[in-house]
Structure 1
Amino acid sequence: MTGSRQRPLLFLDVDGPLIPFGAPSGQYSTYLSDLDSLTSSSNPLLARLYPGHGPRLATLPCDLVWATTWAAEANECLSPRLGLPQLPVVDWPETSEFEEGDERHGLHWKTRALVGWAAGRPFAWVDDEITATDREWVRAHHRAPALLHRVDARHGLVDADYTALAEWLRKA
């Protein structure tokens, strides 16, 4: 009996990778969506969400997972604008459940939860706050391949990021 190989996961943060921020005012491209006209209380940052990310993400050889504080709102607000289906969403532990000292020692608050969610599967994590401490911790606590890919929050995902992700995912 041959075991089926599971596709790698791609944990995707929103603020920074998909919605750029931090550049001087006026340096962002904006994209108006037909969906924006349907909702009067639309988040103004959604205009920075480039719809072309959806098709590019969908072609990557992985299973996409929202890894963002947007939580279920990512499926409500972002998936339709990107042309993506409803994606699984990482449920973050309560603040009291984080290991004491993680932040003090430089470990991102998402790191442990993502390794737990991956449950031994290969994964890539796209975020603008990843550090060397996160990479070291994942290497020590996750046996499968993992790519922690930091994105420049001022620009969000760019061609070079997609190239790096696609190459790594094909090998994972």
Structure 2
Amino acid sequence: MRMLPLFIFAPLMGCTSLVMSTVVALDDLDPMTADPAGFEVALDIPDPLGLVKNSTEFQFTATRGETGDVSGGEYTLLETTTPDGHRVYRIPQNAVEDIRAIQKDAATWQATGDNALSVGVNLDFCRTTQDPLPDDLRFSIFIRLAQDAPLLPLVRNSRVTEVIEAEALNELDMCADP
């Protein structure tokens, strides 16, 4: 079965602040057997930026090569904040059960090179001020790969303009009040 990395942050692949030890840990993770209940993403984003409420989603898709059947879904992640200020997003329990069922079903497929699993995280930024945003804003992303495991740095102190063009940064919608 062909598998794609656990978290696909496509815009970050060219990011100069990727932490390679975490990328290796992701590459070693088997999405067929990894428990989705332990997956978490934590963000440190600068104050002039926010996230559109309920826009942070986890996608999990399995494609059966011999039939082309696709199963999976997009699940809105639950947000909490750690004492040190990280916004932490985790998969809700109903989605954990769905993903486990997909993993169980996919495990019964005949092993062919055409089967695929893909997973990813999407988030939509917004701005908290009407003032022009500086192009030197920086962010960090951390991931947890299992319950009770530490948060691992995936992207450390990266310029926001590595993932959002400077022109588009100032065109972001204003964040709605919480």
Q: Same fold (TM over 0.5)?
A: no
TM-score normalized with structure 2 length: 0.26
Name the structure with the higher strand share: 2
TM (normalized to structure 1)? 0.26
Structure index of larger Rg: 2
